[in-house]
Chain A
Amino acid sequence: MRGEKREVRGEKKPRIPAGRWRSPRSSALFLPLTSGLSLPMGRLVYWLVVVVLVAFCLLPILWGVRTSLAPEFDPSFVPSRLTSEHYAKILSRGFFYRYTINSAVVTLGSVVLVLPLALGAGYALGRQQFWGRRLAPVLLALPLLPAVTFLVPIARYLNLFGLYNTRTALVLANTAFCLPFATWMVWNFVHALSPSLEEAALLDGCSHLGALIRVILPSMIPGAIAAGVFVAIQTWSNYLFAYALSTHPEIRVLPKAIVDFVGSWRTDWGGLMAIGVLTLLPPLALFQILQRWFVAGMYGLAER
């Protein structure tokens, strides 16, 4: 993909944008839909399409929020009255806090475990030609293999080490799944960084370790944030490993708790959506706050 890019772009060298979608400064990319229409008409159609697409992306989420606030069995899209009873019901039960803490511990653990591994690997790949460069694409494409296939062997494996039914097991499995993408992200960021800073540090008599800690690590913070947000969102949301590697209610995480509730609360959509919304809030907040770095990271991932 980079090859074709090079052919058409001539002298221009687009770099990974710092936190925004780079839009080509030309109306030429405008929707084919609006072709043949007069300018105001074309604008109207264009914005209509934007509104429809935003609705497409947001309506299911709004529906979830609506259902969590609406009285039971209210079929109209805009409920007749709003109620907080579903949230009150969820928040009054102790288990919700336990599951939230479990989720937070597993998520934090995965981020803490992935980051050093991904930063090291991404940095090495981004700065040096070595045998790893040839191996890296294979390793980093590993998530294309079905994780579900690995569940049984991994479960046995962790059982062997006495880790089955522990939060550690969830951290380890989630780390394995997130590490490839996180490494891609860091690699991309390192690519976009100029090595001159490190060179300067070394020439000024900084030791290798000193350069690594004082100069390189700080410059990799944006990459680390992007990768960290990615890992946090993935791990917080993961149901597969939670289901396969834990049966004990003590270490149940939120996604597993939600699915488990469906059985007993089949028609209590209000309560279910209330937990759903509460589960959605942390990743959404993280995304909103660190969007600048995260979008750039995802974007770099796609540019590969």
Chain B
Amino acid sequence: MSNPETQRGTGILPVSNRRQGVHVTMFASRQWLFVPALIYLALFWVVPLAPGLLISCQEPVPGTQAFRWVGLANYRTLLGEKTFWHNLSLSLLYLIGVVGLTTPVAYVVALVISGRSRVLGAVRALFLIPWVVPPVVSALVFRSMADPAIGPLAALYRHLSGNTELIPLQSASWAMVNVIVHSFWRSVPVLTLFLVAGMTTISAELHESAQVDGASAWQRFWTITMPLTRSHLATGLLLISAFTLQDAETIYAMTGGGPGHDTEVAAVRLFREAFDYQHLHVAAAVGTFLLVAGVILMALYLALFRRAEAAT
């Protein structure tokens, strides 16, 4: 939207009639290019919603392939069960842990790589690499790093806990720590990207004039950089939150949800119920909870987007 040429083309700014005429004839047919993607997305993201909800209100009839309607019984069972509350609180812990660790580190990375230096130019792309590694590969790397026989993280955890016999992935709390640290490592590049995008929109003059007025670097960070990157931070965090909440694969690959159920966040519960135990109805009910969380995040995202659009 920053380019005046583009804006003329998109019809946001008034243009002369002659030029408008060209656009009308030229673009009249263009909107249909959007339709195939629309249909495709609807087929995969909207149509499955109904069968998903339907399964969550059914249960299998023992001994047959059939399902029968049970209303909200699956939800009642879930909410009455201790494990499910454990799943939900682990999801929350996972989310808070990843967001809490990622935010400060991503700010430092973003500040560092927006510095000017020739060497930096070469290392900038390195900061995106954790995102390029396939999630299950990095999950297994972190699993091996937490293996007491060889892993450096295991040594670190033993040092931190003061327990020299600690087997991190067999301990409820340290397994969760390892899961969080891994997702944190993967999330930093994503959030950094958003923050750098925000920081480049801050004019240098603003910082310079603040500097002339005697503001320290800390003051400038809190009064200029922070507030002006707030909406980028919000969008980035929403994205990370959504991906953290729905992440089943990295935890499944690293711990399988164990020891016991101690790293079994809601998404992993769904995954296990659906594909390890074939309890499709339970999985679908868990899915509804995740879906509600996803819809809330989506609504927040759209609200942010609308505000930005309105301000432009």
Interface on A for B, CB 8 Å cutoff?
A: 1-6, 8-10, 12-15, 17, 20-36, 46, 49-50, 53-54, 56-58, 60-61, 63-64, 67, 73-75, 77, 116-118, 120-121, 123-132, 135-139, 141-154, 156-157, 172-173, 175-176, 179-180, 183, 191-196, 198-199, 202-203, 208, 211, 233, 236-237, 239-240, 243-244, 254-255, 258-259, 262, 267, 269, 272-273, 276, 279-280, 283-284, 287-288, 291, 295, 298-299, 301-304
Which residue of A has the minimal Cβ distance to B301?
A141
Contact with A along B191-229 (1 / 0, CB 8 A): 001101111111110111011000011101100010010
Q: Does B295 contact A (CB under 8 A)?
A: yes
Q: Is the interface of B mostly helix, strand, loop or mixed?
A: helix
Q: A12-B203, A127-B9 are in contact. Are A276 and B137 (CB under 8 A)?
A: yes
Q: Is the CB of A14 within 8 A of B140?
A: no
Residues of A within 8 A of B99 (CB): none
Contact of A148 among B41, B188, B230, B248 (CB under 8 A): B248
Which residue of B has the minimal Cβ distance to A12?
B203
The segment out of B69-77, B157-165, B238-246 that lies at the interface is: B238-246
Complexed CA–CA distance, A5 and B38 (Å):
30
Interface on B for A, CB 8 Å cutoff?
A: 1-6, 8-12, 19, 22, 26-27, 29-34, 36-38, 40-41, 43-45, 47-49, 51-52, 55, 105, 108-109, 111-116, 120-121, 123-130, 132-138, 140-145, 147, 149-150, 152, 185, 188-189, 193-194, 196-204, 206-208, 210-211, 216-218, 220-221, 225, 228, 230-232, 235-236, 238-239, 242, 245-246, 248-249, 252-253, 267, 270-271, 274-275, 280, 283-284, 287-288, 290-291, 293-295, 297-298, 301-302, 304-312
Contact of A194 among B3, B27, B135, B201 (CB under 8 A): B3
Q: Is the CB of A28 within 8 A of B204?
A: yes
Complexed CA–CA distance, A23 and B308 (Å):
23
Contact of B246 among A54, A148, A180 (CB under 8 A): A148
Q: Is the CB of B242 within 8 A of A143?
A: yes
Q: Is the CB of A117 within 8 A of B12?
A: no
Complexed CA–CA distance, A31 and B51 (Å):
52
Q: Is the CB of B9 within 8 A of A146?
A: no
Q: A36-B216, A57-B130 are in contact. Are A3 and B308 (CB under 8 A)?
A: yes
